[in-house]
Amino acid sequence: MDGATDLHFFSLLKGQAEGRVMFAGPFANPVMYDIDMDAVIAMPQTNFSKQRDSISLSMTRPGSQDDDEQHYVLSKEPSNVLFEVLEYGRNGSARGGPSAGTERRWHWQHLPSPPMRGPYLPSLHRREVIHPSAAAVVDETTLCVSSVETGAYAFDTVKGEWRKAGSWALPFHGAAEYVPELGLWFGVNAAVGNTHHCLGAFDLSSWPPVEHRTWNYLDPLSDKWLTWQRHLLNLGSGKFCIATSFQNIEWHTPCNAAGYPLHGLDDEMVVNDLIILTGVEVVRCGDRLKMINHKSKHLEGIEIHCVL
C-alpha cells in the first residue's frame, strides 16, 4: 500500500449526533458526512496529516452549556507523536477559556505531544520516540495514554498539560470504550503476533487499572492467517462489534497468457485479506459479567481500511 493511502484517516464523531463520519486525507481539507442529513460538509484544515491507525477519543467540553464537542486525535509519525483536537463550539480556548464569538463552528487546535521518550539515539542526536499503544477518556477532563516502554501519561484537557500517571500500561490496545450502564471500560488486545482474540472489561477510575474479566470472542484461525488489526465498535448498552483483520501471503509462479508457467522469473507475492465482524454483548448476571457471542460475518478478498 502506498504512503498516501496510509494517510487516509476516518473517524466517527461521537457527540449529540453520532451519525457523522470525518475523513482527512493528505492533499485536501477534511470533510464530514452527516448520515442523518445525507450531507457532506467541508471541515477546517488540520494542522498535520493523520495516519490511518491514529487514535481518536471523543468527549464533551467540561462546563459547557451547549454540549460543545471535542475530538482528540493522536497521530503516529516516525519521529514524533502529533496531537490535536477538533472542537465544535464558540471559537474560544480548548482549555475552557472565554468564548471568542457567538457563532458555533468546527475548529482545530494543536496540542502538546505526550512526553513519551525512550533511550538516547546517538545516530539521530535525540531520544527515541515511543508511540502510545493505548488510550482512553477516564473522566470528563482527563485522557490517559500509555505504552509498555514508558508507562502511562495523563492529559488535563482544561489545563492543556501532560503529567506522568504511573509506570504501568493500559491493559488493552487502541482506544477503550466506556459503557455507563456497566460502569466499566472495554478494550481488545494487541493484534500483531497474537492469535488469541480477547475482549476485556476494566476499571480505569483508579490507577493502576483493574482488570475485571476477559473473554475469547473468536476461535483461532489456521496458522496461514496472520492477525494484523482489531477494531472495537461500541454499539451502546454493552453491545459491541469487533472487526478482526487477517492477512495470508502466498507465492505464485508467474504464467503467460495461456496459463503456462514462466520459469526463471521470481515468484509473485499475493496478499489475501480476510476480515471477521463479530457481534457480542456484555451483561450483568448478579455480581458477575457475562459475554454473549451473537454471530460473525466473514468478508474475504476485501481490504478494509476502517470500520466505524
**Domain segments of the chain as ranges:** 173-308
Q: Is the pLDDT of residue 55 over 50?
A: yes
pLDDT digits (tens, 9 = 90+) for 254-293: 777 777 777 767 777 778 889 999 999 999 999 999 999 9
Q: How far apart are the first and last CA of the chain?
A: 21
State the Cα–Cα distance between residues 302 and 22, nearest whole angstrom: 22
Burial of 8 from C-beta contacts in 10 A (0-12 / 13-18 / 19+):
middle
Q: Is the pLDDT of residue 2 over 50?
A: no
- CA of 118: how far to CAs of 22, 73, 136, 170, in Å? 33, 22, 22, 18
Torsion of CA 90, 63, 94, 118, to 10 degrees: -160
- Mean pLDDT, the chain, rounded, equals 85
What is residue 6's DSSP assignment?
H
Percent of the chain topping pLDDT 90: 48
Contact 256, 264 (CB under 8 A): no
C-alpha grid cell, residue 88: 465544535
| pLDDT score, position 302 | 72
| pLDDT score, position 271 | 80
Contact 292, 279 (CB under 8 A): no
C-alpha grid cell, residue 295: 454471530
Q: Is the pLDDT of residue 62 over 70?
A: no
* pLDDT level of residue 250 (50, 70, 90 thresholds): confident
Q: Is the pLDDT of residue 200 over 70?
A: yes
Q: Is the pLDDT of residue 173 over 60?
A: yes
pTM of the full structure = 0.86
Contact 275, 246 (CB under 8 A): yes
State the Cα–Cα distance between residues 243 and 308, nearest whole angstrom: 10
State the Cα–Cα distance between residues 83 and 56, nearest whole angstrom: 10
| pLDDT score, position 4 | 46
